[in-house]
Structure 1
Amino acid sequence: MTGQELGRGVLRPEAAAGVLEVRRHPPGPGLAAFVETYWNPRWDLRGRADHEQKVLAHPNVHLVFEEPEPLVYGVQRDVFRRVLHGRGQVFGVKFRPGAFRPFAGGPVAALADRAVPAADLFGPEVAEVSARVLSHDGLTEMAALADAFLLVRLGSPDRSGGQGSGQEGEAGGEQGAGDPQMAQVAELVERITASPRLFRVDELAERTGLSVRALQRLFAEYVGASPKWVLRRARLHEVAARADGGAGIDWAALAADLGYADQAHLTRDFTAAVGAPPGRYAAR
């Protein structure tokens, strides 16, 4: 696996590729509106030093089947850090932006920068499902178990192999795929992340016909991070991708291209997020 294949947001991707294998699998058809992808990082560091991996996270909520217990990770607005050691794996459900709202039981902003026990949101049976998922090596089998578990909670008629109560599932289904605001939020975040040259919240408001305040409320309820943060993170992903691509970058030109007031503004923004100026980061 190459660093590029790890995807945007993974810092020092070439070093990470020497440590991690990340497998991905699409969700079943009944979950396509909710789940962006399943991801399965695996590592074997036996006899090697621990590895700290840093990630500039995307505006997504994740359900992660892992030891000692499965966790739900809200949007991580600072750099996410994880130290890997020994041999292990996790299996993650990356929800589409805005699509965790049917499972959250309230505004998704309440989960920001938190990792909460999945049992708090999915019930105690999630621990058993997590253990079953992690007992498999085949990605198809792991994904099928995750599909079945989540479909029940959305009130899907396809309940084979699932867990949980139908009452919970019907409640989720009513707020789920038929929720026009969920689809609207997903489209807005896609628009932002596809174009890091969309710079300001008022510009986004003008393009969508929504007020700035309406956008802020919508993102707090469904995404878990403000539209300003999502815009800023898209630009930082672009800066990090350029920096990881090698030296010889015209930082002043990149700053202008991404709507920063000047190179110093880009440098401050990147340093605050990553912990090193972009030039120093690129030179390593």
Structure 2
Amino acid sequence: MTDPTRGVLYPDRLPRFSRIPAGDEASPLAAWFWIPQWELADGVESRQPILGYPAANLVVEGDQVTLWGATTRASERVLRGSGWAVGALLRPAALAWLTEAPSDLVDASVAIDAPDLRDAVTTAMPDETAAAAAFAEWLTRHAGPVTPEGRLANAMVELLMTDASLLRVEDAAERLRVSVRTLQRLAHRTVGLPPAAMIRRRRLQEAAQRVREDPEASLAGIASELGYADQAHLAKDFRTVLGFTATVYRVGG
């Protein structure tokens, strides 16, 4: 997960927003920490649509610590007033420690009883670097050593979400030297989504980024380069997951 801006559909609408790498010790547990801060005038709203990575997020906001599961569609956060949040994009090895059933958390969330994490992050803010360090320290102290299955699950997600040439689950299984069935079971146990869904999410994130950043590129060309059967399949992905067409997205709708 090397491109932390890829899932942001409208980067220019973001409030103050930082993403901080997890660092060597915490990197098997989190890809990065993300920290928005906002201060809006009375009556002003900031809508933030996100096409998230197929991963869970552990988030400290206010007096709450919440574990959010992977998503099957774009989500939207509406910001009002002033505030901040500090979240960790979790790797599968960390999610397996926090829940035994990641599939139950898909498109859902659950409160986590972690007052020490909440207090450490709250004390560190608004120093973003210190807040991320406090979060990383808490993860490494509580999660324990990464298991062999956790390492394999981390490698699976990294491969599926970063290798643009990878279009079939069979190819991913071969690269990881496991059977397709083993890969499917691993994804269910550690992410909650099937490997094919992760590949589709990566392609749609890449397509959205291309549509946004290259106004001259044809939609048919983008579809072909990213492995879609044709432009119609790309259009269907946009409508199903994002709720609007690529053309509407291109003009900032």
TM-score w.r.t. the length of structure 1 is: 0.80
Q: Which runs of 5+ in 1 are unaligned?
A: 120-125, 155-172
**Distance in 1, Cα, partners of 2:211 & 2:191:** 28
Sequence identity of aligned pairs in percent? 31
**Distance in 1, Cα, partners of 2:200 & 2:101:** 22
Query: 2:213 maps to which residue?
Result: 245
Query: 1:103 maps to which residue?
Result: 98
Q: Residue 58 of structure 1: CA displacement?
A: 0.4
**Distance in 2, Cα, partners of 1:257 & 1:140:** 38
Residues 63/282 of structure 1: CA separation in 2 closer, same or farther (3 Å cut):
same
Instruction: Tell me if structure 2 keeps the 8 A contact 1:64–1:91.
Output: yes
Q: Residue 197 of structure 1: CA displacement?
A: 3.1
Q: Residue 86 of structure 1: CA displacement?
A: 0.7
**Distance in 1, Cα, partners of 2:63 & 2:83:** 12
Query: Is the deviation greater in 233-242 or in 195-204?
Result: 195-204
Q: Which runs of 5+ in 2 are unaligned?
A: none
User: Is 1:139 the equivalent of 2:134?
Assistant: no
The partner residue of 1:228 within 171, 176, 196 is 196
How many residue pairs are counted as aligned between the two chains?
249
Three-state SS of the structure 2 residue aligned to 1:31 is coil
The partner residue of 1:280 within 232, 237, 248 is 248
**Distance in 2, Cα, partners of 1:25 & 1:276:** 31
User: Is 1:90 the equivalent of 2:88?
Assistant: no
The partner residue of 2:109 within 80, 104, 115 is 115
**Distance in 2, Cα, partners of 1:264 & 1:10:** 23
Instruction: Tell me if structure 1 keeps the 8 A contact 2:159–2:172.
Output: no
Root-mean-square deviation (Å): 2.1
**Distance in 1, Cα, partners of 2:19 & 2:8:** 15
Instruction: Tell me if structure 1 keeps the 8 A contact 2:153–2:186.
Output: yes
Instruction: Tell me if structure 1 keeps the 8 A contact 2:28–2:154.
Output: no
Residues 262/29 of structure 1: CA separation in 2 closer, same or farther (3 Å cut):
closer
**Distance in 2, Cα, partners of 1:148 & 1:244:** 37
1:202-240: per-residue Cα shift (whole Å, max 9, x none)?
Answer: 232333332222111000111221101100000001111
Query: 1:10 maps to which residue?
Result: 8
User: Is 1:54 the equivalent of 2:52?
Assistant: no
1:121-168: per-residue Cα shift (whole Å, max 9, x none)?
Answer: xxxxx23531442243112332343234323313xxxxxxxxxxxxxx
The partner residue of 1:266 within 216, 229, 234 is 234
1:12-61: per-residue Cα shift (whole Å, max 9, x none)?
Answer: 11222xxx111233445432221222221111112462011111110221
TM-score w.r.t. the length of structure 2 is: 0.89
Bigger CA radius of gyration: 1
Query: 1:201 maps to which residue?
Result: 169
Q: Give the letter aligned to residue 152 of structure 2.
A: Q
